[in-house]
Amino acid sequence: DVVLTQTPVAQPVTLGDQASISCRSSQSLVHSNGNTYLEWYLQKPGQSPQLLIYKVSNRFSGVPDRFIGSGSGSDFTLKISRVEPEDLGVYYCFQATHDPYTFGAGTKLELK
Amino acid sequence: QVKLQQSGAELVKPGASVKLSCKTSGYTFSTSYMSWFKQIPGQSIEWIGMIYAGDGGTGYNQKFKGKATLTVDTSSSTAYMDLSSLTTEDSAVYFCARGAGDYWGQGVMVTVSS
């Protein structure tokens, strides 16, 4: 199975700061059709995950432009500029290129 | 708007089975995929499998073959997941989600206990 390694495990931030989360895959996430199915989710306590970014860098409907996904191959990053209170929670990267689909272990974005 | 409404929490005995439902609205169910996920509280998320509502075709994570069975009822735009031979290791929150995960249900807690 594809292993997604997220760093850091926890990211303490001050509101208004920028935050950056890394997701590295044990193998390339480029599908045979040329697409890269790497997504980012935010899960707030007691809630379902919510899709933020799909196919590496595409913001899902309604997601603010302070969320920026980038990367290629097996190395990906989510940047959040100007962190706001509603951005706090656990971020997961997820790959849907290889069967079985897999998630990273999560990165907790929390206040300093 | 797209909505996925899951059935309520379940308390089941070891060895029993349970059937979870996910009723959808706001999009064309019959031409969409539905995924199911498992999350033990405090842990990451696992993908169980996916079903295409158009023909009932399924794909499963090898880990969950024999444990989970996915079905759909297109007449009611509802997806189902049967979990069989339950053990305490199956205690978790289970989510349904459209496609590979753009819209999610609220999750349902399944507790396996005698």
Contact across the interface for B107 and A37, Cβ inside 8 Å: no
Residue spans of alpha helices (H) in chain B: none
pLDDT for B25-35, tens place per residue? Answer: 999 999 999 99
DSSP per residue, A32-99: TTS-B-EEEEEE-TTS--EEEEETTTEEPTT--TTEEEEEETTEEEEEESS--GGG-EEEEEEE-SSS
The encoded tokens of residue A67 equal 């969320």
Contact across the interface for B44 and A106, Cβ inside 8 Å: yes
Specify the amino acid at residue B90: D
Contact across the interface for A100 and B47, Cβ inside 8 Å: yes
Q: How far is CA A12 from CA A88, A111, B4, in A?
A: 10, 5, 33
Contact A17, A76 (CB under 8 A): no
Contact across the interface for B106 and A96, Cβ inside 8 Å: no
Predicted local confidence at residue A92, as pLDDT: 98
Contact A28, A73 (CB under 8 A): yes
pLDDT band, residue B94 (cuts 50/70/90): very high
Q: Is B95 on the interface with A (CB under 8 A)?
A: yes
As a whole number of angstroms, the distance between CA A99 and CA A106 comes to 20
Q: Is B66 on the interface with A (CB under 8 A)?
A: no
The encoded tokens of residue A39 equal 């997504």
Contact across the interface for B106 and A49, Cβ inside 8 Å: no
As a whole number of angstroms, the distance between CA B35 and CA B45 comes to 12
Contact across the interface for B44 and A37, Cβ inside 8 Å: no
As a whole number of angstroms, the distance between CA B46 and CA A102 comes to 6
Contact across the interface for B61 and A100, Cβ inside 8 Å: yes
Q: What is the DSSP pairing of strand B3-6 with strand B92-98? A: unpaired
Which of B44, B46, B100 is the closest to A104 by Cβ?
A: B44
Q: How far is CA B105 from CA A7, A12, B20, B79, in A?
A: 28, 29, 12, 11
Mutate to test the interface with A, among B2, B3, B45 (most CBs of A within 10 A): B45
Read off the DSSP letter of residue B104: B
Which of A48, A104, A106 is the closest to B95 by Cβ?
A: A48
Measured between CA atoms, the residue of chain B closest to residue A52 is B102
pLDDT for A31-42, tens place per residue? Answer: 999 999 999 999
pLDDT for B35-90, tens place per residue? Answer: 999 999 999 999 999 999 999 999 999 999 999 999 999 999 999 999 999 999 99
Q: Is B44 on the interface with A (CB under 8 A)?
A: yes
